């Protein structure tokens, strides 16, 4: 048993962390952010990095600190039923409802759309996603080392290509950085902060974090302090790599608006930039790499979801779960990348606060003796605010008026909750609830201990 590892081991784990969080699909978000933020790109990307990198890092540390075997076990500290519901919703979000369909849509937008006429766009998307998810299904039903091997090759290939692109952008910028769009003209930092939710990496960190923790344990580090230290040092390495890429791609997006115009998503930005610097060869190379990278990600997500739900409901076979999830992903992918991103936002507004609250409770758990009362109270308070945020965002997305009951609650929250306009109305109530319920539990434990000591002294 050892508590300290050589730097080479930290580096290996850091690369693993980087591979877990870095996906081809996530490149579209800093690119779109850069295009829209314009001259406010640095403020916006700073906010993006907090939620796009910082929260996933916090999630990894929370899993290591908790000592739990998986997310369901950790979330069950609130209540066993909540553990199942929260974990199921999280898997569906990072799986067949949003993240998996997004891989197919991103692969099409970057890898195929540049070669397809706009008039055949819908047909092209349908045919491509049909083939994409058939291949995903086949590999998910026939797990092979080939997928892992291809993934290990593709991650470095994407990194090298992106770094070359970023060097070219610095040496020979695409164009000048223009004024920000309306959404980023004021409050660019908080807009970037909320955009970081779209990566879904903070949610994924609670699911896949145990992989990193087990890797650290396999190297001989078994103490909580040692695991946290190894995770922190390795996480710093992964954070630096991710930060460089995200900042660079955001800058690329900011300089691309004057050259290519404004796009609905960040997908076309990378393809146009690759074509601009490297011609048709660059476009084809980027297309192939992104397509295969998205495919391996899709297979991984489908396999993980199939395994979890088969373990949850073993009467339904793994094969049936994967078949069902592949079909759902195919249908949703055909709504297009913009719609997938937009309709995921209300769900993320619900789940992200709950996930962050669980992380905070995990780190503070020893202070209130792991009391379920504190876990439950904080989760209820968080849910009461985040569910309204979800409904509100959904109504805003569809451009419909708030329901009568919703408008009253939103008006109340806007008046009494600090930071509500910034999407963080849940933060202060969560902190206050932790302090109040934690103090009550602490006083109860203290009173019980005093009573026990008195009883023992009398006897």
- Asked if 179 and 300 sit in the same domain, the reply is yes
> At 84, is the secondary structure helix, strand, or coil?
helix
Residue 194 lies in a domain: yes
Q: What is the predicted pLDDT for the residue at 457?
A: 57
* Residues contacting 46, CB < 8 A, separation 6+: 189, 192
Residue where a domain stops, chosen among 313, 334, 355: 334
92 with 62, same domain: the answer is: yes
Query: Which residues of the chain register pLDDT less than 70?
Result: 1-4, 24, 143-155, 445-459
Which distant-in-sequence residues (6+ apart) come within 8 Å of 389 by Cβ? 349, 350, 353, 423, 425, 426
- Residues in the chain, how many? 459
Given 279, 301, 334, the domain boundary residue is: 334
Please check whether residues 412 and 424 belong to one and the same domain: yes
Is 284 in the same domain as 372? no
Say if residues 98 and 306 touch (Cβ distance below 8 Å): no
- Same domain? 97 vs 231: yes
With CA atoms as reference, report the closest residue to 212 among 226, 228, 231: 231
Task: Judge whether 333 and 122 are in contact, CB under 8 Å.
Answer: no
Judge whether 1 lies within some domain. Answer: no
| HEC per residue, 130-187 | HHHHHHHHHHHHCCCHHHHHHHHHHHHHHHHHHHHHHHHHHHCCCCCCCCCCHHHHCC
Among 207, 232, 255, which Cα is nearest to 86's? 207
pLDDT of residue 455: 61
Give the pLDDT confidence score for residue 318 in this predicted structure: 93
| 205 and 278 belong to one structural domain | yes
348 shares its domain with 445: yes
pLDDT at 50: 94
Do both 158 and 281 map to the same domain?
yes
Half-sphere exposure of 271 (CA within 13 A, CB side): 20
Same structural domain, 163 and 309: yes
Domain-embedded: residue 435: yes
Domain, as residue range, for 439:
338-459
- Cα–chain-centroid distance for residue 75? 18
Q: Is 30:246 a contact under the CB 8 Å cutoff?
A: yes
pLDDT at 449: 57
In a domain, 67, yes or no: yes
**404: which DSSP letter?**
H
Does 2 map to a domain? no
Do 101 and 21 lie in a common domain?
yes
The whole-angstrom separation of Cα 453 and Cα 459 is 10
Q: Are 328 and 97 in contact (CB under 8 A)?
A: yes
Count of domains for the chain? 2
According to DSSP H, which parts of 399-426 are helical? Answer: 404-416
pTM (2 d.p.): 0.89
Tell whether 317 and 343 lie within a shared domain.
no
Crossing angle of the two packed helices 224-260 and 201-218, in degrees rounded to 10? 140
Label residue 418 exposed, middle or buried (CB < 10 Å: 0-12, 13-18, 19+).
Answer: exposed
Residue 99 within a domain: yes
For residues 419 and 325, state if they share a domain. no
Question: What confidence tens digit (pLDDT) does each residue in 15-40 have?
Answer: 777 877 777 678 889 999 999 999 99
Residue 449 maps to a domain: yes
Return the SS3 of 70.
coil
Answer with the one of 334, 359, 387 that is the final residue of a domain: 334
CA dihedral angle for residue 351, residue 353, residue 358, residue 360, rounded to 10 degrees: 160
End-to-end CA distance of the chain: 45
pLDDT digits (tens, 9 = 90+) for 232-264: 888 888 888 889 989 999 999 999 998 899 998
The confidence score (pLDDT) of residue 10 equals 80
CATH no. for residue 292? 1.20.1740.10
Integer-rounded Cα radius of gyration of the chain? 23
Tell me, yes or no, whether 13 lies in a domain. yes
């Amino acid at each position: 048993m050892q508590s300290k590892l050589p730097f080479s081991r930290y580096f290996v784990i850091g690369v693993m962390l980087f591979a877990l969080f870095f996906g081809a699909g996530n490149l579209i978000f800093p690119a779109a952010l850069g295009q829209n933020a314009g001259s406010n790109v640095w403020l916006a990307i700073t906010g993006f990095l907090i939620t796009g990198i910082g929260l996933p890092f916090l999630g990894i540390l929370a899993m290591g600190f908790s000592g739990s075997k998986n997310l369901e076990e950790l979330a069950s500290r609130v209540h066993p039923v909540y553990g199942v519901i929260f974990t199921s919703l999280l898997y569906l979000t990072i799986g067949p409802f949003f993240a998996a369909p997004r891989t197919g849509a991103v692969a099409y937008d970057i890898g195929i759309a540049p070669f397809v006429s706009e008039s055949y766009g819908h047909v092209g998307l349908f045919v491509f996603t049909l083939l994409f998810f058939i291949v995903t299904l086949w590999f998910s039903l026939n797990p092979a080392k080939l997928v892992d091997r291809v993934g290990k090759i593709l991650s470095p290939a994407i990194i090298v290509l992106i770094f070359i692109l970023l060097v070219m952008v610095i040496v020979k910028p695409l164009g000048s950085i223009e004024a920000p769009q309306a959404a980023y003209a004021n409050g660019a930092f908080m807009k970037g902060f909320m955009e970081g939710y779209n990566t879904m990496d903070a949610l994924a960190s609670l699911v896949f974090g145990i992989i990193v923790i087990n890797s650290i344990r396999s190297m001989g580090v078994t103490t909580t302090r040692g695991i946290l230290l190894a995770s922190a040092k390795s996480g710093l390495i992964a954070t630096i790599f991710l930060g460089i890429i995200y900042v660079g791609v955001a800058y690329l997006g900011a300089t691309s608006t004057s050259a290519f115009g404004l796009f609905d998503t960040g997908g076309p930005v990378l393809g146009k930039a690759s074509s601009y610097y490297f011609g048709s060869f660059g476009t084809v190379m980027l297309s192939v790499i992104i397509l295969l990278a998205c495919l391996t990600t899709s297979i991984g997500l489908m396999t993980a979801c199939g395994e979890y739900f088969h373990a949850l409901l073993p009467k339904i076979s793994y094969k049936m779960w994967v078949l069902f999830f592949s079909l759902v992903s195919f249908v949703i992918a055909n709504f297009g990348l913009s719609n997938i991103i937009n309709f995921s936002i209300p769900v993320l507004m619900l789940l992200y606060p709950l996930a962050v609250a669980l992380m905070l409770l995990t780190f503070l758990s020893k202070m209130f003796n792991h009391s379920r009362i504190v876990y439950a109270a904080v989760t209820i308070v968080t849910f009461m605010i985040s569910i309204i945020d979800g409904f509100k965002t959904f109504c805003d997305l569809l451009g419909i008026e708030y329901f009568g009951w919703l408008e009253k609650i939103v008006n109340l929250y806007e008046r009494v909750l600090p930071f509500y306009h910034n999407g963080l109305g849940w933060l202060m109530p969560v902190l206050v609830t932790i302090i109040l319920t934690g103090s009550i539990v602490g006083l109860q434990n203290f009173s019980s201990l005093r009573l026990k000591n008195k009883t023992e002294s009398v006897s």
